[in-house]
Amino acid sequence: VGEVGELSEIFQWRGEVPKGLPDWKEEDKTHLGEELSDVLLYLIRLSDICGVDLGKAALRKIELNALKYPVNLSKGSSNKYSDTNTSSNSSSINGGD
C-alpha cells in the first residue's frame, strides 16, 4: 500500500498526462519507473505468496472486462458498465471487480 501511495503521489497534482509524458523531465520519468517497478515487484511477490497465477488472473480480468464493456457500447465512454449495458447483461457480470 505504501508503494502504491508513492506511485500515486507522482500524479497527484499533474492532472491528465499525455501519452509518453513528453513534457516530463527525464529524472521524473526515471523516478516514475522506479515506483512502478516497486509496485510490480510487490504484486509479483504477493501473488506468489497467495498462490495466485497473476498472468492467468490478469487475462481472466481482461476477458471479464470485455464482457462488461463491449466495444460497441463502451468505446469513447467512461460510463460504468451498468450505465452502458442492458440490465440482463450487467447483472450476470456484476459478480466481481
CATH number of the domain within which 67 lies: 1.10.287.1080
Say if 58 falls within a structural domain.
Answer: yes
Tell me the C-alpha distance between 86 and 94, whole Å: 12
Identify the weakest region by mean pLDDT among 5-14, 33-42, 87-96: 87-96
**Taking 90 as the threshold, does the pLDDT of residue 60 lie above it?**
yes
Query: Any residues with CB less than 8 A from the CB of 74 and at least 6 apart, and which?
Result: 81, 84
Q: Please tell me the predicted confidence (pLDDT) of residue 52.
A: 98
Say if 37 falls within a structural domain.
Answer: yes
Range of the domain at 15: 1-73
What is the number of structural domains in the chain? 1
Say if 80 falls within a structural domain.
Answer: no
Q: Please tell me the predicted confidence (pLDDT) of residue 90.
A: 46
Tell me the C-alpha distance between 86 and 20, whole Å: 36
Residue keyed to cell 522506479: 34
Q: How many other β-carbons are positioned within 10 Å of the β-carbon of residue 40? A: 12
pLDDT digits (tens, 9 = 90+) for 17-56: 999 999 999 999 999 999 999 999 999 999 999 999 999 9
